[in-house]
Chain A
Amino acid sequence: MVMDPRLTSELTPELKDIVSEIESHARNLGLDFFPTIFEMVDYQQMSEIAAYGGFPTRYPHWRFGMEYERIAKSYEYGLSLIYEMVINNDPCYAYLLRSNSIVDQKTVIAHVYGHCDFFKNNYCFSHTNRKMLDEMANHGSRVRRYIEEVGHDEVESFIDICLSLENLIDQHGPHIRREYKPKDKDNYDESLVSPDKLPVPKLPSLRGYMEGYINPDSYVKEQQAKVILEKEKEKKFPESSIRDVLKFLLDFAPLNSWQRDVLSIVREEAYYFAPQGQTKIMNEGWAVYWHSKILTQLVLKDSEVIDYCDHYAGVVQMSGQRLNPYKLGVEMMRHIEKRWNKGQFGLEYTLCDDPQVRRNWNKNTNKGMEKLFEIRKYHNDITFLDEFLDEDFCEDAQLFTWVQDRRSGQAIIHDRDFKTIKRDLLDSMTNFGQPIIDVVDGNYRNRGELLLRHKHQGKDLKIDWAVETLKNIFKIWNRPVNIATIIESEGKVIHYDGAEPRIEKGINIESY
């Protein structure tokens, strides 16, 4: 497949040999991956590919241009260098940087096989489209067609709207069947407008004058109210809340066909990229684990060791405020491998609270490698850290929590307490560290308004942005939109109906 005429560049014979050597090492060690195609690119091409998230054939949008300028500039200033890109696809595509030294190429190639194995085997990726390269190209040509039909500005600003809602998907959606039956939201019920005439079951009264005593007005009113409440409930739509806001909009928002298609493209791509976000630490850790194993044990010549180590140190160097996923991931992997090799697991080990005994625990079980393969199949970053981040590791890896000092703006180390570290880390990763938002009502106030709910977990929304995002949803929903949230410990609803946004008193969200 030729994606770009400039990218047909093949590997040199030397690199071809290296690729096939490393590939066979990787397979012998138990890695299992789709065929992997390496392409050689220069830095500019690499930056372009990276700007498109790995897909040079993606739909056109200014944001990719911005990303390109950012990458190109940080390269010019010597701030960062992209060494490699791998695309989860069958076959996998990987791009090598022409200017890299041979040692670097070897590292990258082994690293890539680690990623490819992870893509193929980790459960998070099991629903991803393995023909995404083709699919993205498809998206690209559809969007270009719409641009020709309705104009560049029009399509581009609609994509802007969709992208601002890009994170409103259901992370776990691909793995769970959540059915909901859309009811006809236009179904207009007259009885709700004039409840007085609503017929309700009455006790039989044989004589007319008894009616008032047998079925007193208060009783009838009570019954009518009950029926109305039932009807209201029935009319509620959706029946239960929906995390996949984009899907809900696709199904029920008054969009024309090209808009619906563009929204579905954005949603599909968001789902495709989601697992990479869910497994960043594991995926990088796994790749670093394998490249260092393959290189140091099988591939490196004596003369290359120093260069390799130098590069390796760069990859796993600590970066202060930000956790380095490469470093954290690979250290966790090695920690687990060690524990399972020595039998440091199971009830007996867990119950042991003598640190000395724990440290020297060795039952020579040698189950480390087996355990690692199991983990790479069944975990994502959250479950991985939840299960395997233990106190010993925290201490060895020198983890800490930091806070930003109010006065100086400097980040300072807060503490090294295991429990806080683990809680903060897991907290920050839940839902990618983004607020959880779902649709609770598509016919709010019985006026076709949209009501979203932010599941508040201790952190407030950024209000100005929430308002801007609501404005975007309004452009899609075409009726007033609301989001129920908590602002400074008080339940509030942000309302936007095309005029001035308003923050109103909270509603009882529990009834939804």
Chain B
Amino acid sequence: MKMETDVNRFRKIVRGKIKDNLKRFISSGELIGRQGNKQVSIPLPRIDLPRFEFGGNQQRGVGQGDGEPGDAINQGQPQPGEGEAGQNPGEHSMEVDVSLDELAGILGEELGLPRIEDKGKKNITQKKYKYQGVLRNGPESLRNFKRTYKEALKRQISVGDYTDDKPVIIPIKEDKRYRSFRIEEKPEASAAIIYMMDVSGSMGDEQKEIVRLTSFWLNAWLKHNYDNLDTRFIIHDAIAREVDEHTFYHTKESGGTLISSAYKLCEKIIMESYPIAEWNIYLFHFSDGDNWSGNDTNECMNLLDNFLLPSSNLFSYGQVESRYGSGQFLKDLEKHYGEQNEKVIIHQIKDRDGIMNALRSFLGKGK
């Protein structure tokens, strides 16, 4: 109980540190590699209080063991016993585990993102039973056997009713303990993200890395907002196909680009899997802006106008700058939708440093 307070105070400081370093984390990809099941392990400079201390130009010390002068010392195993201050001052860092959800919260605060408004079943809530604590009264079905047993054991020992020879425990009424619960009403909301990416030759590794980083944070934020999140991946050049996440980020094709192929597949996926009334649907399309022909671009606008926009919360187009791309598609979209469209967000991501702004513009409408 007491430690919990101190740990929470510490975590608060850690949150601040993460915020300070968020830009670095967002653009470096360091965190994605450190992602465990639901936790991300974050390397932070150790949070030390400053002191008057020696600055070591060169470190030295005394050790014990075999070896000739000039031999490297093998780093020994840490010994049992209390840890002691090492002889090595200098740059310490520490690893802090943070849940993805908390990280998303920090991202939201830092970017000033509004909470997402659920366009789906706004008024539908789901009851959840949350068990908490222990009561002395309750229905038998909720009896907590372990606690009851412990209470009985305690009582019998204290009145001298228990010996090792006769290990019989008989709970009486006052020993009985029951689980207590509370009903929580949680909004039930589901969302699907469909990522589309141009994998034609002009999208290089760096461009794909930017897409990967951007979508990692998009995912984190949307997961923070919805109970249930589905992600689907579409890659396309002249034809589109649905792939798994790994393939999505690691495919390189050559050849032409028909963006409409991806939008068509996207339409199909929505029709098959996500009833519009129940799902919040997010569409993200990344490309370097080259499309095969103006005809295909027109086809894309048709698909957007007639199906994709009406059925989704948001359509975001991220144009990743590449040396080869003409960037025409962005101009076409802007011409068609103007800069202020409720459901269409168009953003150019110049390099890694641009990711933060991209996130802000994709998510800033709270859709």
Binding site for B on A (CB under 8 A): 4, 48, 50-51, 56, 60-66, 68-71, 73-74, 79-85, 152, 156, 160, 163-168, 280, 284, 314-315, 317-328, 397-406, 408, 410-416, 421, 424-425, 428, 433-435, 437, 454, 459-463, 465-466, 468-469, 472, 483
Contact = CB atoms under 8 A, between A and B. Distances in A.
Contacts of A156: 9
A327 B64 contact: yes
5 contacts: A50-B82, A66-B47, A410-B73, A435-B52, A462-B53
B164 to A, nearest CB: 9
A338 B301 CA distance: 93
A400 B11 CA distance: 41
Interface string B31-51: 000000000000000010111
A166 B51 contact: yes
Nearest to A52: B3
A155 B239 CA distance: 64
B59 interface: yes
Contacts of B76: 317-322, 324
Contact of B94 (A70, A80, A397): A70
B63 A322 contact: yes
Interface in B96-146: 96-97
B81 A315 contact: yes
User: Which DSSP category, helix, strand, loop or mixed, fits chain B's interface?
Assistant: loop
A318 B3 contact: no
Q: For the complex of A and B, list the 4 residue pairs with the smallest distance between their C-beta atoms, beginning with the closest.
A: A319-B76, A462-B55, A65-B10, A468-B50
Given A321-B73, A323-B64, A435 B54 contact: yes
Contacts of B47: 66
A401 B79 contact: no
B295 interface: no
B79 to A, nearest CB: 6
B219 to A, nearest CB: 26
Contacts, number: 220
A163 B49 contact: yes
Interface string B1-39: 011011111111100000000000000000000000000
A425 B66 CA distance: 18
B10 A424 contact: no
A65 B7 contact: yes
B181 to A, nearest CB: 25
B34 to A, nearest CB: 14
B6 A68 contact: yes
Contacts of A323: 61-64
Interface of B: 2-3, 5-13, 47, 49-84, 86-89, 94-97
Contacts of B52: 167-168, 434-435, 437, 454, 461, 465-466, 469, 483
B49 A81 contact: no
B58 to A, nearest CB: 6
B63 A402 contact: yes
Nearest to A468: B50
Given A83-B80, A461-B53, A48 B72 contact: no
A400 B62 contact: yes
A434 B53 contact: yes
Contacts of B86: 322
Contact of A69 (B7, B12, B49, B70): B7
Contacts of B94: 70
B9 A461 contact: no
A398 B61 contact: no
A428 B89 CA distance: 12
Contacts of A83: 80-81
Contact of B69 (A69, A314, A398, A413): A413
A133 B67 CA distance: 46
A71, A399, A413 pick with most chain B CB within 10 angstroms: A413
Given A61-B9, A82-B81, A424 B3 contact: no
A148 B86 CA distance: 37
Contacts of B6: 51, 60-65, 68
Given A48-B3, A167-B52, A415 B73 contact: no
B54 A462 contact: yes
B87 to A, nearest CB: 6
Contacts of B83: 71, 74, 80
Contacts of B50: 164, 465, 468-469, 472
A398 B64 contact: yes
A56 B63 contact: no
A385 to B, nearest CB: 10
A407 to B, nearest CB: 12
Given A321-B87, A463-B55, 17 more contacts: A61-B6, A84-B81, A323-B61, A327-B64, A400-B64, A401-B63, A402-B63, A410-B73, A411-B61, A412-B71, A412-B72, A425-B62, A433-B54, A434-B51, A460-B55, A461-B53, A462-B55
Given A164-B51, A434-B52, A314 B80 contact: yes
A181 to B, nearest CB: 27
B82 A424 contact: no
B72 A160 contact: no
B151 to A, nearest CB: 15
A410 B87 contact: no
B63 to A, nearest CB: 5
Nearest to A400: B63
Contacts of A163: 49
Nearest to B55: A462
Contact of B61 (A68, A280, A424, A454): A424
